[in-house]
Amino acid sequence: MATGTTTTGEDRIGNYRIVRVLQMGQNSVIMEVVQEGSGRRFALKELLESRSSDPAERRALAFEAKLGQMFTHPNLIRVHEFVNAKPSPYFVMDYFPGMTLRLVIGKPQEYSLPPGRPHSVLRQAAEALAYMHEQGWAHRDVKPENILINRSGEVRVIDYALAKKIPTGLAKLFSGKPPREGTYSYISPDVIRRLPPSAAADIYSFGITCYEVATGRQPFRANSPMELLNKHMKEKPIPPIAHNKNVTKEFSDLVLKMLAKKPDDRLKDLREFLAAFNRMRIFKDDPDPMADRFSM
């Protein structure tokens, strides 16, 4: 979470004292807070007052909080409390000081990770997403901005705002077409076609994230949103190894498998990804991945 404005220390929401603003969005604000009495630090996400009169916005925040309370995985941000307050509802979640994977990719000179650490980061993120899928949910906005890393190398996947239940059985036939949501640089062909939510779509988005970690760039670049969507649908990605000769062929091939245009041609789930990934290096000069796993 990004460092933001420091408050006077007198501002409060409920029984939480606001320390500083971490992130200001279009619909909500995330703040670092301290719980009165216990002194524990949390992050608090509050709907902006300008949006609080919109019932849909209030429902969306409550839904995100509900998922965060339901998920109990060490690599997912945990929500502890939802308060349907007036004028603005809010929820309280783990405070996880760290940086986004976007900073690591976008500013490697300032936010570089030690050798072997990218492997641990991707493994932990995959574990979190695999857990979500096994609980029956698709994240639907997998990208480096939603993967946090702290100084110890621990990872949290965040932001359940677009998550949806994965339909099974007959529900697939009657679920209707979901809206085309997500970040266009990471959106899968099946989401573009408005197919039902699936783990396969997250695998595609996570594959693009892996591609970026390995190469420092996304597989598809375009001059307009429609051109970008068309490339997701039709253009074959250049192998990561072609952009970075230090990438192992094994990892390059694994990423390309995740970026298959047809969902059935991708890995069947992220457990399959982990089974292969845990035995391979991302970069040729990485330390042994299993040794790195036990040292984190």
Q: What is the domain-level CATH number for residue 217?
A: 1.10.510.10
pLDDT given at position 169: 74
Say if residue 265 is in the same domain as residue 172.
yes
Residue at which a domain ends, from 94, 113, 131:
94
Say if residue 69 is in the same domain as residue 119.
no
pLDDT given at position 195: 93
Number of domains in the chain: 2
Classify residue 76: in a domain, yes or no. yes
pLDDT given at position 1: 40
Strands in the chain per DSSP E:
12-13, 16-24, 28-35, 41-47, 79-83, 90-94, 99-100, 137-138, 147-149, 155-157, 164-165
Q: Domain range for residue 214? A: 99-295
Say if residue 135 is in the same domain as residue 270.
yes
Say if residue 167 is in the same domain as residue 282.
yes
Q: Cα–Cα distances in Å, from 22 out to 3, 43, 232, 235, 293?
A: 5, 8, 33, 38, 30
Say if residue 148 is in the same domain as residue 70.
no
Say if residue 148 is in the same domain as residue 227.
yes
pLDDT above 80 for 184: yes
Classify residue 170: in a domain, yes or no. yes
Classify residue 5: in a domain, yes or no. no
Rounded to an integer, what distance in angstroms lies between the CA atom of residue 49 and that of residue 47? Answer: 6
Residue at which a domain ends, from 29, 61, 94:
94
Classify residue 251: in a domain, yes or no. yes
pLDDT given at position 51: 93
pLDDT given at position 288: 83
Residue at which a domain ends, from 73, 94, 115:
94
Classify residue 85: in a domain, yes or no. yes
Classify residue 46: in a domain, yes or no. yes
Q: Is 141 a catalytic residue?
A: yes
Q: Which residues have C-beta within 8 Å of that of residue 150, sequence separation ≥ 6?
A: 96, 97, 98
pLDDT given at position 175: 67
Rounded to an integer, what distance in angstroms lies between the CA atom of residue 289 and that of residue 116? Answer: 7
Selecting among 141, 159, 202, 286, the annotated active-site residue is 141
**CATH number assigned to the domain comprising residue 34:** 3.30.200.20
* Model pLDDT for residues 124-181, shown as the tens digit of each residue: 999 999 999 999 999 999 999 999 999 999 999 999 999 999 998 766 666 677 788 8
* Model pLDDT for residues 67-102, shown as the tens digit of each residue: 999 999 999 999 999 999 988 999 999 999 999 999
Classify residue 1: in a domain, yes or no. no
Classify residue 3: in a domain, yes or no. no
Say if residue 84 is in the same domain as residue 115.
no
Q: Which residues have C-beta within 8 Å of that of residue 80, sequence separation ≥ 6?
A: 42, 69, 92, 93, 94
Say if residue 228 is in the same domain as residue 269.
yes
Say if residue 115 is in the same domain as residue 82.
no
Instruction: Read off the pTM.
Output: 0.90
